[in-house]
Amino acid sequence: MARRRWRDGRGTLSVPGGTGARDITVPLEIAASYRARTRGLLGRTSLDGAMLLSPANSVHTFGMRIPIDVAYLDRRLTVLSVRTMRPGRLGLPRPRARHVLEAEAGAMAGWGVRAGVRVELTADG
């Protein structure tokens, strides 16, 4: 499998068979540069869709205003675990995690993102 290099920008998150039998598609922001990953969701009060941090294997919520769902993905984009984090928390690094998805708290359960699900990510442009 070729190693994918992500670039900052926008894209789409697809969750096969998300809720029920239909696939879920969600707008995606991609933060691949050091600067974009460092900034992440800091200072935001909402997020339309999800944010991909790549490469990343841990996150923190210091300086955030909202609780978030965090999904740790392996190199094949399989969800290793999903956690909800309140502002002011430090997440431990996850072994095998290569990417992190962030969304508003509660969103991932509604999309069907849970451990063992393999998501699809596409970049615009």
More confident residue, 70 or 23: 70
Contacts of 40 (CB under 8 A, 6+ apart): 31, 51, 53, 59, 102
pTM for the predicted model, two decimal places: 0.91
Neighbours of 66 (CB within 10 A): 14
Whether 13 has a pLDDT exceeding 90, the answer reads yes
